Chain A
């Protein structure tokens, strides 16, 4: 029953996406807008199929339908309800189903958002691209990653339950779906990038129209990454939160590209520059999500997520190859004609800062990618196995991170086009003093070490510079009678709050990695030990027995607070014991406790691992600031013009310098030379960036 329902859902989605691709392609080829706009019907059907499949899967999980191989492998009668529900994404096939559901939701939202422009070839192309992606993922589910495969032979009376590490913390309910909302969301901007390349209508502001989609996806990806780090910290018991694991890198790579894009697209919006570059970043972001999924799901590269090893690797790799070849090929075909004329006047300008920002982010992404695939490279050429560990990543990314902090301080203070050193001095004097004071205060407070001191100083500098922008913006809003809160919403101000979150995270990373310390204490009940300035009191052991979990807990007091209960836990019978850490958090530092050895005989000593790391809570606080800032950025700021990118088709030749006609693949109606958006058509007349009304309050230009 569940299997039949699920299979029909998957097949409906697959058939609808394939049909949609065929019909839209036919409509585009024959210039029949009526056909091209049927995409919305297929999008609705894809969503319907995905919902049916998801309902079938959840129903099977909740009713413990062990006739499904996936349920038998990832659920048991003793699994608590929460982990029964999250069981859907605790292994590969179900994760792909979640991916499909989210993708279908995004596609439906996209066709609904652009429903009035459904006949526009560009929207039709974008819909087609998203349906191709949907066809790939539902094809995986119909074939090699079938979540509804039934067990061979007798139906087991009970299932095995999810991976023990996935039934320990409620974060598993949030981390994967949120991460997927980020990953999958990049499909929409990617589709529009491909569509604008195919139609040659790169200068019309479609990219700006899809910028919000990127921002949305970026925000979820950010939260997903932070939650992943938090989960790793709370559950795995090694005291760390980021291991430069290939899968972590796989989520971090698209994040870096998307972050670069969110900055450089502002240059396109204000100055009409970097158009092809922005398209490349969007395409790279999406390609990297597919590559990341491949690295996660193929077992090619060693990773903590290896429990989801599978054989869909070659298909994902092939899809990555197709996506990348398509994107790169289109850019090779169209890129040179579509490049914006004009250039950046001065490096000491806002757009110059964005350019440096982009170079840094791309270098960052390159360093991470190289570190991730280096073991494969080395093995291919030298035949030996090596691993690239945290030292490489730390050493390589530290200078880039510091440079980004510095840029984050200076960038927001720079006006567009050019500036003078005296302006810069006026705007940066106070933040620079704050940075200097932070360094002095840290040295006085006993902090030593060049790296962390530079990080703290730059953190103070950047924080002050961004707070200054927010204060100016709020004051401006207040003076114009709009209310102070008006100065805190909108993209620019939300961006400043996001910057503050990044500063907090950077400071926390510097502190935790530089001054964290790990030790072990061996104590008998009632004994006290001192570890890194904390008093650890071991009171005794207790046994916990619940249907889901059997555990031996150590009762520990930290500086008299507690009790904290680090434990050795067993989730369900016949599973291995895993350590369950306990954490005493404060604003100042975290004391992270694990049971490292239980007594051999009764009342013997227990070995407790004690990891003390400063400012870890700041990481999660910084994550909250990122969420807050993204939310503020989503609220329209004042003076915002409606984003309506609709226009008559403008041929590619119009946007360039008049080189030969384009091979317009759309067959769409030929040029109606109406200027769509002055923003991007402004060419190199330098004034354009300055005298058109700003789309957002830009505080830096206004003090």
Chain B
């Protein structure tokens, strides 16, 4: 990054092309960085076909990390995104900002809601994770892992889209992006006319 002159103590009076060489290297490194940032691949997510799709969503209820309590039934009538996550999982950390952006973009009343379910993680670390990333959606503590079991979740992050009637309409394995969530949500909504 830093284009540098020769800063070493041995700068001599002989004419050398140090600055040019260093600048050349810096340019190559910089160009590589720009290329990398410009072409960084979209995060991969795959839709998985599980028996749950088309079935009614198993209940999710319990205390939230924020300190309140939550029940999935209270979101009946809204499109809901259920996200199983853990603070120790790298793809979860990867997708978190996109979830933050998604939740923020859909924060008007009646819009799609986002619910997190803690997967195999201590409440305190999961809470720090949520708070330090600025996440404000409810995250349910899944004591005993029953919710994960009901949804057939094997490893986070896994994400489900639940219709306003409480039916699971899609299941994804891997980190979601704001754009892909919007895409799938639109598709699910459109598919119902």
Contacts and interface: CB of A to CB of B under 8 A. Distances in A.
A328 interface: yes
A377 B2 contact: no
B2 A336 contact: no
Given A160-B108, A336-B16, A165 B136 contact: yes
* Size bracket, chain B contacts: 35 or more
A158 B98 CA distance: 26
Contacts of B90: 385-387
A287 B30 CA distance: 10
B30 A325 contact: yes
Given A163-B104, A387-B90, A578 B2 contact: no
A399 B3 CA distance: 24
B36 A165 contact: no
Given A280-B2, A332-B23, A385-B175, A379 B40 contact: yes
Interface string B1-38: 11111110111110111111001101100110110111
A283 interface: yes
26 contacts: A164-B136, A238-B127, A277-B4, A299-B101, A302-B96, A321-B31, A324-B34, A328-B26, A328-B30, A332-B24, A335-B23, A336-B17, A336-B20, A339-B18, A342-B13, A343-B12, A344-B9, A347-B9, A355-B7, A355-B9, A359-B7, A385-B94, A387-B93, A573-B109, A576-B137, A579-B131
Given A160-B107, A274-B7, A321-B34, A578 B1 contact: no
Nearest to B174: A385
Nearest to B14: A657
Interface stretch (A9-17, A120-128, A175-183, A591-599): A591-599
A656 B13 CA distance: 9
B73 to A, nearest CB: 17
Contact of A385 (B7, B11, B38, B91): B91
A445 interface: no
Contact of A309 (B4, B16, B101): B101
Interface string A291-307: 00010000110111111
A113 to B, nearest CB: 27
Nearest to B95: A302
Interface stretch (B49-57, B60-68, B184-192): B60-68
Nearest to B105: A309
A417 to B, nearest CB: 13
Contacts of A366: 1-2
Contacts of A373: 33, 36-37
Of listed B20, B38, B133, residue having the most chain A CB within 10 A: B133
A90 to B, nearest CB: 11
A329 B28 CA distance: 11
A520 B125 CA distance: 12
B20 A598 contact: no
B41 interface: yes
Interface in A279-337: 280-281, 283-284, 287-288, 294, 299-300, 302-307, 309, 314, 317, 320-321, 324-325, 327-329, 331-332, 334-336
A664 interface: no
Contacts of B178: 299, 309
Interface of A: 160, 163-165, 232, 236-240, 243, 245, 257, 273-277, 280-281, 283-284, 287-288, 294, 299-300, 302-307, 309, 314, 317, 320-321, 324-325, 327-329, 331-332, 334-336, 338-344, 347, 352, 355, 358-359, 362, 365-366, 369, 373, 375-377, 379-380, 385-387, 518, 520, 568, 573-579, 595-598, 600, 607, 609, 656-657, 659, 684
A379 B19 contact: no
A332 B27 contact: yes
Of listed B18, B24, B36, B136, residue having the most chain A CB within 10 A: B136
A469 B136 CA distance: 49
Contact of B11 (A299, A331, A344, A575): A344
B5 A335 contact: yes
Contacts of A520: 124
B93 A284 contact: no
B46 interface: no
Nearest to B91: A385
B67 A597 contact: yes
A302 B93 contact: yes
A379 B41 contact: yes
Given A274-B5, A379-B40, 8 more contacts: A163-B134, A240-B132, A280-B4, A306-B98, A328-B23, A338-B19, A377-B36, A575-B107
A336 B37 contact: no
Contact of B2 (A232, A281, A305, A600): A281
